[in-house]
């Protein structure tokens, strides 16, 4: 099926999807954000300045601390590759769409310069069946404002979740989410291709046995570590500024 028709499919199945989503909210445990503070450092020379911006995964849901979530794992992976330390910061909110990042968090994210920005958005745009046009507009705004604030940064946009592998989700909800997320991801890849110094990570491999947290929806500490490993594939080789 053409992924461009994903919103029409969601509309046609709306009564069933609504019932399934309501039932899921009753049975999926609500996990907290990672504990504050959302800033930290990894000791080492010439520390890299790292920003994680986005939704629940920027908030570290599924891990106890941000050191166990995306920021800490990025810092350790980059440190092992470059021999440098890191100073990291996470900004975002559980449940935020790309539009909500623009409205509520982009000012803070662009108030200082970074060497690497990891952007994790799109999952909630898929969950709320936002249009490709709205997502495209918001992503461009985010990337261009990040670039203006950090002219030399590598900006790495995460691929969207592989919803078809979320066995906690029933069909047709799982199938519709995957269909629409593929439409949004194709849109994101076209946007990223037109922005210098911006990369998008490859689609995720099959999730490992320990990838998910207790809610079977967000990554666990192990899942965040696995995510960083596949998300950084080829990125270091393509950005000498992070390696030096």
Whether 1 shows a pLDDT value over 70: the answer reads no
**Those residues with Cβ within 8 angstroms of residue 175's Cβ, 6 or more apart along the chain or in another chain:** 164
Residue 195, sorted as left (phi over 0), alpha (psi -120 to 50) or beta, turns out to be beta
Question: 231 pLDDT exceeds 80?
Answer: yes
Q: Work out the average pLDDT over 6-21.
A: 67
Q: Give the H/E segment covering residue 53.
A: strand 48-54
The pLDDT tens digits for 63-104 are 999 999 999 999 999 999 889 999 999 999 999 999 999 999
Between 168 and 138, residue with greater pLDDT: 138
Q: Which pLDDT score is estimated for 212?
A: 96
Domains contained in the chain, CATH given:
3-25+49-237 (3.40.50.1110)
Per-residue pLDDT, 94: 96
Q: Which residue has the higher pLDDT, 28 or 156?
A: 156
pLDDT in tens, 22-69: 777 766 788 999 999 999 999 999 999 999 999 999 999 999 999 999
Mean pLDDT lowest among 79-83, 110-114, 223-227: 79-83
pLDDT one-digit tens code per residue, 168-212:
888 888 888 898 899 999 999 999 999 999 999 999 999 998 999
The Cα-based distances of 15 to 20, 125, 127, 192 in angstroms read 9, 19, 15, 35
Edge-to-edge strand list for the sheet holding 48-54 = 39-42, 86-92, 48-54, 116-120, 154-157, 198-200
Q: What is the mean pLDDT of the chain?
A: 90
Spatial CA neighbour of 228 closest among 94, 123, 90, 120: 120
Mean predicted confidence (pLDDT) in 117-129: 94
């Amino acid at each position: 099926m053409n992924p461009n028709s994903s919103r029409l499919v969601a509309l046609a199945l709306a009564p069933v999807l609504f019932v399934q989503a309501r039932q899921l909210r009753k049975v999926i445990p609500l996990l907290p954000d990672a504990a504050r503070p959302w800033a930290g450092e990894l000791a080492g020379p010439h520390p890299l300045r790292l920003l994680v911006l986005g939704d629940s995964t920027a908030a570290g849901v599924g891990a106890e601390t941000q050191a166990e979530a995306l920021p800490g794992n990025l810092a350790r992976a980059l440190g092992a590759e470059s021999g440098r330390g890191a100073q990291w910061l996470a900004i975002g909110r559980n449940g935020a769409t790309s539009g909500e990042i623009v409205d509520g968090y982009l000012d803070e994210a662009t108030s200082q310069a970074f060497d690497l920005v990891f952007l994790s958005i799109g999952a909630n745009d898929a969950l709320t069946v936002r249009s490709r046009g709205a997502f495209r507009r918001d992503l461009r705004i985010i990337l261009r404002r990040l670039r203006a604030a950090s002219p030399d940064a590598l900006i790495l946009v995460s691929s969207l979740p592989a919803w078809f592998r979320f066995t906690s989700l029933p069909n047709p909800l799982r199938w519709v989410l995957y269909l629409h997320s593929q439409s949004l991801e194709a849109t994101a890849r076209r946007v990223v291709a037109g922005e210098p110094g911006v990369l998008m990570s490859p689609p995720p491999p099959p999730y490992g046995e320990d990838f998910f947290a207790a809610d079977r929806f967000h990554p666990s500490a192990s899942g965040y570590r696995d995510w960083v490993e596949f998300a950084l594939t080829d990125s270091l080789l393509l950005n000498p500024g992070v390696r030096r």
